[in-house]
Structures are given as C-alpha cells and as structure tokens.
Structure 1
C-alpha cells in the first residue's frame, strides 16, 4: 500500500444512523480501524453487513475497539473470516465481554438461518449466517487486552490510549495519535449519574473529535429508576400478568435485577418469580465481581443481583417458561427485540392484555423495539404477524447513554477546543440537533459526516 502524505479518516458506518460503528484511519502507510460493528435496524442498513467491506480486510493493520456492544464489535468475526490478520486492541473488560457477545452472536445467526430454512420464510433457498459461533470464537484469538491510561503502539507510528467511558464494563473513549495529530473517539459515553457504572473521565485535548450523538436531541427524564419500575410491577402482578423485558445482556439486565432486588427487599413489590433468560447476561453478571474499579456496585449488591433471579440456561427451560402462568417477570435478550430468546416470549405473552412488555433502553429505528415504542399492535416475527395486546411501557430512567446535555458537559471538560467535531452514531435529527448546539453553545466547528465520506485530517487544521 502506498503511504498517504496526509492522514485520512473515513466513516464506514454510524454516519446518519445509530449502528455499524466503523472508522478507518489511514496514515504512514498504515490502516487502523476504530470499531467494527454490525448494522442493525432497517433492512437497508442490515444489508450493509452483507456488502463487501469498504476496505480490503487483509490490508487493515489493526483494530481498536471502544467497547463490546455488537454495534461496535459484532462485525469482527466477519472481518477475520474475510482475511484480517492483525490485532484487535481493547480493554481487559472488553476482552471478557467479547468472549461472551461474539460467540453468542454467531450462535444466534446460525439459529436464525436454520429456523428460516425450516419454516421457509427466507427469500434465500439456503439461508446462511453472516458468521458462525466457531468463526466468532476463532476471532477472539486476535483480541489483546490493555489497561486504561497507557500508550499502546497499535501500528507503526500510530498510538492509542483507552480512557474509562462508563456505559458498560470495559467501555472506553479512545485517543489515537497519528502524525502529530490526536484523534479522539467517544465510543458510547455513559451517564454522569448511573446506577451501575462510574461516569466517563474528562475529554483530553485533541485535534479531531468523533463523538456519538445517540441522544443528541433529547434530555433524559430525571426519574428514580425504582420509583418508575415499582408501580408497573405491582399493577401487572395484581392482574396475574407476565412482564417481559427485552434487555441488553450487558448493563441493562444487571441494572434491572439490582433494582428489582432492592424493591423486593423493601417490600415495595410482591415476591413474584424473576427469570433471567439469557446465558450471556448470566455470565456477564459474574464479570461485575471481576471489574469493581469500573462500577460502584458493592459486593452485597452484586450478591443481590445473583439471588433475585432464577437463571435459565437451556433451550428446554426457556420453552417451559412460555407454558407458565403469571405473575412473573422474564428478563431476556436482545434489548431491541432484534433476535434471541425474548422473541419467543413476546410471541407467547404479547397477545394477552394482562401482560406487559417493558422497553429498558434505546430502540434504534427499524427494530421491533422501536416499533413497540411507537405503538405497533402487531410485530412480524418468524415469518408471520404476531398481535400485541400486552401493555407496552418505555422505561425512561434506564438508558446507559449520555443525553445531549451530558455530551455537551463532557465536551466542556476538554482543556482546549478541537479543530473539528464529527457527530456520529445518531439518527439524522439527533446528530444534527447536537451539531447545532455544539456550534452555538461551545463555539466549536462541527459536522455530521456522510456514509463512506473520507476526510483529510490536514485539511481540518
């Protein structure tokens, strides 16, 4: 590959949408990819997962990963499958969580392909997964874990440093030093006051900032999470209903169990059975014991998280839940109802108006979760329309993302203004609203990049 005279940054994903975070930095004849996520939501976005990767995978020297969520890490097995042979640099916490998330993703992709073939609802004669569980496990061999706050040479002339971002275990905002310039990637930023994670550390000085804008047009409702959750549990339990909670296996599932445990201990909710039906969430919960420096959950509360729920491991146990009657609470992945065991619970309990579906996090456009939040009374699953008569509640207090005000407050912690801010990882309105606020309130230059746009970093001087 011919070395470029000026380093460049190309937006291979998360431009104009919330998912598919992928940023390609080229400098000194090196190619470094920051994040390697799956596109989720709308069909036209999901189709990008099947398109040829915009850069030849074998030409990429290294990947730097901000955190383990699939919209940031979920394409890694496909990248490796297509010829990437370099290191995947991330924090130790992200190594641990990728070890759960990526094989689980491969397994679900295989199961979905098999189910589509068996039921005949795929457009393809022989549906195939994007990658398999075995391919995902092979990609884990290329992960390399690092401490926060240390400089790491990820490619000749390219140095990375991880800074705690809150959000989930192992999450980082990342500095990349390239040819005398510093690029900074926010990844997904956590909140200043969150029930599990510590807040993100300040933004260091940088020349170019690439910042998420998931909630760039919104402010989180100031609400006590337990005060929000308790009346819903009491109401549904009183009518003998089942509460199904699609929850992200890492972060949201643990927060829900913690709050349910505290509510039960104070006798503010009845002692209805609670089931955690996500092997990945069960394993992720154990990691909170191993990474105490990143969160403010005590050993006692970690124990409560374990004890409040019955863990459901096998497929047979999962199916048996659908034959039980309420009252009970089922927490299951995925958080936006894009796949996983929770779909079978929605199919089983969604048509009954005694039941409830609680949405406990951001719902990206085009997902079943977003459709439910918008009031959809049917969901297309397993090749047919499932009626939804259950009460649907969007919980306002359970987001793990910083809102617009918190993003701006984080930017203000920088010792100096960057030359330019690129707003990514947000729907168009959210990204553009935040762009306007960055310009007006901070006086910083800001842009919303286009998908596949490449910018010369020297030109940003």
Structure 2
C-alpha cells in the first residue's frame, strides 16, 4: 500500500480566511475545516466556485472551531456531493449550528433586499445557501470529546486538544501511517478573560501553523482604563458608543469587562444594548458547557442581567431612537454585515458617535477601511460619510500574537519535517517564517492557494 498524503491547500493559504485543507490518503480523505472566504471581493467570489477536488470522495470533515471562516462553506460542500460526517467538539458544533443558521438567514435576506432595491448585477440575486441547506448540513454533525484518540482506519487516527481562542476550539492531531500531522487551528491567548490557556502539541512531523499575528505583538494595554475612558467621553459628548463585535467570544468578553467595570465603579450605569441574535444564542452555549470556560454561573447570570438583550429588529429601531448615551454591541465584528450596519447607517455621520473596533479586521472589510481612516463607507448600495470617531483596542483579539504562537510550539520535542504557515496575510506569514527559523531552526514553507503538496511517508 502506498504511504503518502497529498495536502490540498483549498483556503487560508496566503490569506487569513476560508480555512480548508484536504488530506488525501490511500485509506481516507479528510478535510480539515470548511470555511468561507471573507474580505476582498476577489476572495469572496471564490466562495461561489466549486472546489478543485472530488468532493464526493471526502470521507470526513474535522472542525477546529466554529467561526464562519472555518465552517461557513459546509452547506456548499453538501451541494457538491459530500455525504460524510462532520466532526468537532460539542461546543464547536453548537456554535457551528448557530452560525450556519444565522448565515443562511442573512444570505436569504441579502438576496431578497438586493432584488427589491435593485442593487445587484445578478438577475435575480441568489442566496449563497438557504436555511434548508443549513439544516441538511447540521444533520451530519457528530460530536467527539477532546483528548481521546479516535480511529478512522487501521492506519489513521485523530484527536482534538483544547486551544482557547473561542469556546470549543481545538487543535487537531492526526497519526497517519505513523507520522504526526498537527493543525493548529486558531490559537488563543494565554491570559484570556473567559478561557483557559491553550494546550500545546508535543510531537509534530508536519505542522500546519496559523500566522494571523505572526508579525505582531499585542500592545500591553490597560484595557479597563481605556474602555472606561472611552465610555466617559461618550457620555460627555452625549453620544453613542458602537462596538461591532464577533458574536462568538468577543461579545461575551465585552459583556464580562463592562460588568467588571461597573462592579468596580469605574463606569456609571450606562445603558448597554446587545443586538446580536447569534450572540444571544452563543450565550446559551456558555451556559450549556461550563467546563469549557472560566466564568462561574453566578458571574454569567449577573453579566447577562446587567445588559439589555435585543430580541427583535423593531427593538433595534427603538434603541436608535433612544436619546440617552448608550453602548451598543452588535454583529458583525469586521462590519461585513449584520445589525451593526443599521446603527452605522443612522449614527456614523454624527461626531458624537464613537465606533470601537475590538478584533482582527481582515483586508477588504469595512472594519479595515474604518481602521485605516476611510472618510466614507459603502453598504446596502449607498455611501455613508464617516464623521464618528474611530477607536481600536487591538489587545482584545482572541488570536495569540507572535510570542504566543512561538510559545505554543515550544513543547514540540522532535524537529518537524516541515512547518506550513497558513491563515495569515503574506507579510505576517513571511515575518513569522523568519522568526521560526531563527528560534527553532525548523524548515518552513508558505503555501499558496490551490497548492498541492505530496508527502511520501
């Protein structure tokens, strides 16, 4: 029997998003993650193209975690003939379920709006996938516990290991014909507010390593002081603080921080509105899986009671019409869609508004445009002038920085045959390549999108 692995880099190679890596072997074909491309239009257009591999021949999908750029392409995989299992930890699949349903709803609404308002080149505009497609996908989910080796075939087994980043997130280790393949997924922070520090791999013959912040160190910031100052300024201006937020983890971290600031009398009892249907559902995941995070149920309940959770779109407009200074946390984190657009549509042209960006802003997103000082942003077919003050807190990122990534690799006892840098923009990946070579003297490769690497074992 031939002992080889063909690795197909179908996403997150040379770019941050669209995570998809196919391991083709003589026994089984395994897809690691199945995410959507986000950001630049040329990347987003790739989502509409069928994969360059035989999708019907894929036996199983293993998920590192539930973010859209790691799970959002799954319904399209089914449309191309996939009929296997989709495996992840229980919280990862709970998050993926929420994200796929929400994403399908947004795709359907966006297509309907584009057709109604006639701001589409396509006649008619079609949703990327529908709610029915999402439900067909969720049926294939199978949860597995972390730390246990699970056999796929006689010569292939895998296990999930706790990785911080978001609830349920893991790195994936595979033993294939006696060689250890490690997919880092997204690596979390050592001192996260809500999550334990990531575990570390101890062996890796082939390491597939994220490099999102491969060229950066998170600034050492007193987040509580910065947040309280921004909130006090907002109140002084009689304005609104809008925080575009990822529904998974970032929203819950912000809720926790704001609750802590209020408890410590560092901010007044300013109204806080959480407008993220998906974020509300993720809060339930925290409740269901207490062993996956550090929050006590007492703190969880207190922080939930401290905020106003918006249930309906009608309440979104009531919040906009509310004349009090307030904090609004709404999806999406990179301002690519979601409820935050409605608030920006009404409030971004007011100098009393502050927009606070609190996570990674991918190239080509409105969040990146705002961060880089755009004087206007375009959405829903129109341009909106940016008169609001734009602020950033980079140290709230759920991604480890260069030091965190190097430390995560430090427990590997052997010398990997190759380290493939993925999930990073070119500058970040190249800087990290040099740093790994200088620190560990390992061989490092930066694959490009659609590259195929044949590894003879």
TM-score normalised over the length of structure 1: 0.97
Q: Secondary structure at the match of 1:243?
A: strand
Give 1:162 deviation, angstroms.
Answer: 0.1
Inter-partner Cα distance in structure 1 for 2:152 and 2:371? 41
Give 1:243 deviation, angstroms.
Answer: 0.8
Inter-partner Cα distance in structure 1 for 2:168 and 2:320? 34
Residues 218 and 141 of structure 1: CA distance in aligned 2, closer, same or farther (over 3 Å): same
1:119 aligns with: 117
Deviates more, 1:345-354 or 1:409-418: 409-418
2:250 aligns with: 252
| Among 378, 394, 401, the residue aligned to 1:403 | 401
Q: Secondary structure at the match of 1:270?
A: coil
Output aligned runs, 1:45-84, within 5 Å. Answer: 45-84=43-82
Q: Secondary structure at the match of 2:185?
A: coil
**Is the CA contact (8 Å cut-off) linking 1:239 and 1:354 kept in structure 2?**
yes
CA deviations 1:367-414 (Å, max 9, x no partner) are 000111101121111111111111111112210000001100111121
Give 1:157 deviation, angstroms.
Answer: 3.6
Q: Secondary structure at the match of 1:40?
A: coil
Residues 154 and 360 of structure 1: CA distance in aligned 2, closer, same or farther (over 3 Å): farther
What is the aligned residue count? 457
Q: Secondary structure at the match of 2:157?
A: strand
Inter-partner Cα distance in structure 2 for 1:281 and 1:261? 17
2:97 aligns with: 99
Residues 1:161 and 2:159 are matched in the alignment: yes
Inter-partner Cα distance in structure 1 for 2:45 and 2:27? 30
Output aligned runs, 1:14-413, within 5 Å. Answer: 14-154=12-152, 157-413=155-411
Give 1:456 deviation, angstroms.
Answer: 1.4
Inter-partner Cα distance in structure 1 for 2:361 and 2:346? 21
Inter-partner Cα distance in structure 1 for 2:90 and 2:7? 26
Mark the runs of 5 or more structure 2 residues left unpaired by the alignment: none
TM-score normalised over the length of structure 2: 0.98
Inter-partner Cα distance in structure 1 for 2:55 and 2:98? 24
Inter-partner Cα distance in structure 2 for 1:189 and 1:215? 10
Inter-partner Cα distance in structure 1 for 2:153 and 2:129? 27
Q: Secondary structure at the match of 2:404?
A: helix
CA deviations 1:82-137 (Å, max 9, x no partner) are 22100011011111111211100111111111111111111111001110122112
Deviates more, 1:200-209 or 1:149-158: 149-158
CA deviations 1:33-59 (Å, max 9, x no partner) are 000000000000001100111223212
Residues 1:440 and 2:438 are matched in the alignment: yes
**Is the CA contact (8 Å cut-off) linking 2:86 and 2:140 kept in structure 1?**
yes
Residues 154 and 335 of structure 1: CA distance in aligned 2, closer, same or farther (over 3 Å): farther
CA deviations 1:223-280 (Å, max 9, x no partner) are 2321221100110111111111110001000000111111112221121111110111
| Among 5, 8, 31, the residue aligned to 1:7 | 5
**Is the CA contact (8 Å cut-off) linking 2:155 and 2:178 kept in structure 1?**
no
Inter-partner Cα distance in structure 1 for 2:220 and 2:252? 20
Inter-partner Cα distance in structure 1 for 2:321 and 2:51? 43
Inter-partner Cα distance in structure 2 for 1:144 and 1:155? 17
**Is the CA contact (8 Å cut-off) linking 1:258 and 1:304 kept in structure 2?**
no
CA deviations 1:403-444 (Å, max 9, x no partner) are 001100111121222111101100100011101100111111
- Runs of 4+ deviating beyond 3 Å: 154-157
**Is the CA contact (8 Å cut-off) linking 2:39 and 2:364 kept in structure 1?**
yes
Inter-partner Cα distance in structure 1 for 2:358 and 2:212? 15
Inter-partner Cα distance in structure 1 for 2:132 and 2:338? 18
Q: Secondary structure at the match of 2:281?
A: helix
Inter-partner Cα distance in structure 2 for 1:9 and 1:74? 21
Give 1:321 deviation, angstroms.
Answer: 2.1
Mark the runs of 5 or more structure 1 residues left unpaired by the alignment: none
Q: Secondary structure at the match of 1:322?
A: helix
